[in-house]
Amino acid sequence: MRVVVRSVSELCITVGTVIVLFVVYVLFWTGVKADSVMSDQIDRLQEQWAHGAVRPTGEAAGPAESAPTPGPYETDKPFAIMYIPRLGFTWNKPVLEGTATKTLKKGLGHYAATAQLGQKGNFSVAGHRRTYGDPFKDFPRLRPGDAVVLTDGTTWFTYRIDKGPYKTLPTDIEVIDAVPRKSGYTREGRYLTLTTCDPEWGHSHRLIVWAHLDSTQPVEAGKPEALRR
């Protein structure tokens, strides 16, 4: 009997240790690794931009009404950096093409079927709420009027949030339509949609915010007002 009790106790300790190690891996190690990967993605982008390696564009027509027409994004590759002052002035994440699991481990992911950055339509981006760097951990803090700023190395794009965080189901794919039905928008424009999971450690629902393109300016003009402290 004692042998059985001892064996069960040892098994419980082993299982408990494995669970603790797994939690540490999920909470800590994936975050450390993801932060390093995201920093590397940003460094590579900035190095490319510093050497003039920017994707070819068409002609621009006017500040907030239009933007240069970019060439195609390359799947699983970064093409922009996002800043959200509400989440902290040190908060910045790379935006990559695609929303595959491997892509979202490196940063935020652009829904490939949606508009490109600054273009007419709905530029839509997904990010993890928790794990892999917790990029959208504080997503619920976002409010209408908040700025979401992106750069592709040539232009700063400042979007302003109009609605959200809005809670919905994962099956509600209309949230990334060109004119999302529940966004309050009634006609085509230059919009931004951000999506993440809810609750914080689950994925039964999605949190959404919608924004419109408020202004653009060339990088040579310096940082946009929303990023100036």
- Catalytic residue numbers read 128, 197, 206
CA dist 188 and 35 (Å) reads: 36
Residues 81, 94: contact at Cβ < 8 Å? Answer: yes
What is the Cα 88 distance to its own chain's centre?
A: 15
78 Cβ neighbours under 8 A, 6+ residues apart: 41, 42, 44, 45, 94, 95, 96, 106, 107
Distances (CA, A) of 80 to 26, 27, 87, 167: 27, 27, 18, 26
Nearest CA among 79, 56, 57 for reference residue 68: 57
